Amino acid sequence: MADPQPARVAVYLDFDNIVMSWYDRVHGRNAYSRDRQKIAADVTDPEVAERLAAATINVGAIIDYAASFGTLVLTRAYADWSMPVNAEYRAQLVARAVDLVQLFPAAAYAKNGADIRLAVDAVEDMFRLPDLTHVVIVGGDSDYVPLAQRCKRLGRIVVGVGVAGSTAKSLAAACDQFDSYDSLPGVTRPETNAEKKDAAPARSRARKRVVDPSTELLERALRLEGVRTDDEWVNASAVKDLMRRMDPSFSEKELGHKTFTDFLREHPTVVELREEGNTRQVRFHPDAR
């Protein structure tokens, strides 16, 4: 019996959409529209900088989520990268091997520029790369509904990601799977006023816990694999494969461990290890959830 072909994933980010939508999610409905002129005038203004920092997009969380579906064949982000609010992310995106597609709006209200270019590229890629199995669309605009439907007709699994409260229900319905950016591992959900009052003790405890990069990577991979399989216990080798897709530089041997199992045993406060013969499964330690 032939081995199943590995999943191959293409990712398309409407970066302007996700930045503006998350800004509104953090600061309130239509907040970006109200602050647009101030942001365009000077992103270094203390008040503007503080509000932008509070609404920073976790690029790694998005890329890692996409990698949980399979090997990332291509990842593209669409925006006007000359705008300071977007330029802040260029280094992070390039570090994750994301192609930056430059958009030059023909007019101030040419909002569909990213939609059209993204859709054209995605359809072209599906014909150019027939082995693509998954298409991940990051953006909540209903204009992407025809694209999602076309991808499905062409035999691809369509995954959508959008900010809660700013995503068209029709887009979510058009995808095979849709998750809110708010729910991705690594993303901090905006606090309500009531939550902010009770947050000080939790922050104090969090500051006492110093997380090294490999532990953070392990935690994120565990959460993503648990979501994918819908199981509490997951295969340790699958977690390792996902960690390598999320960060190809990861190596347990470089960290001083002979095997991945040894690496897991060094994190008893994060994971529990279950060994049965040659099978090794892991789950979050109850106290680490």
Domain locations in the chain as residue ranges: 8-183, 208-288
Q: Which residues contact 191 (CB under 8 A, 6 or more apart)?
A: 199
Give the pLDDT of the chain (289 residues) as one tens digit per residue. 455 678 999 999 999 999 999 999 999 999 999 999 999 889 899 999 999 999 999 999 999 999 999 999 999 999 999 889 999 999 999 999 999 999 876 554 455 578 889 999 999 999 999 999 999 999 988 999 999 999 999 999 999 999 988 889 899 889 998 988 988 888 888 875 445 545 555 444 444 444 567 888 899 999 999 888 889 999 999 999 999 888 877 888 878 888 999 999 999 888 999 988 888 999 988 776 6
Give the count of alpha carbons within 13 A of 163, CB side only: 26
Backbone φ and ψ of 159, nearest 5°:
-115, 130
Q: How far apart are CA 242 and CA 226, in angstroms?
A: 12
Report the topology of domain 208-288: Nucleotidyltransferase; domain 5 (3.30.420)
Cα torsion for 55, 56, 58, 62, to the nearest 10°? 70
SS3 state of residue 216: helix
Query: Which value, in Å, is the radius of gyration of the alpha carbons in the chain?
Result: 20
SS3 state of residue 103: coil
Backbone φ and ψ of 284, nearest 5°:
-65, 140
Class level of CATH domain 8-183: alpha beta
Q: How far apart are CA 130 and CA 215, in angstroms?
A: 36
Cα torsion for 127, 132, 138, 141, to the nearest 10°? 40
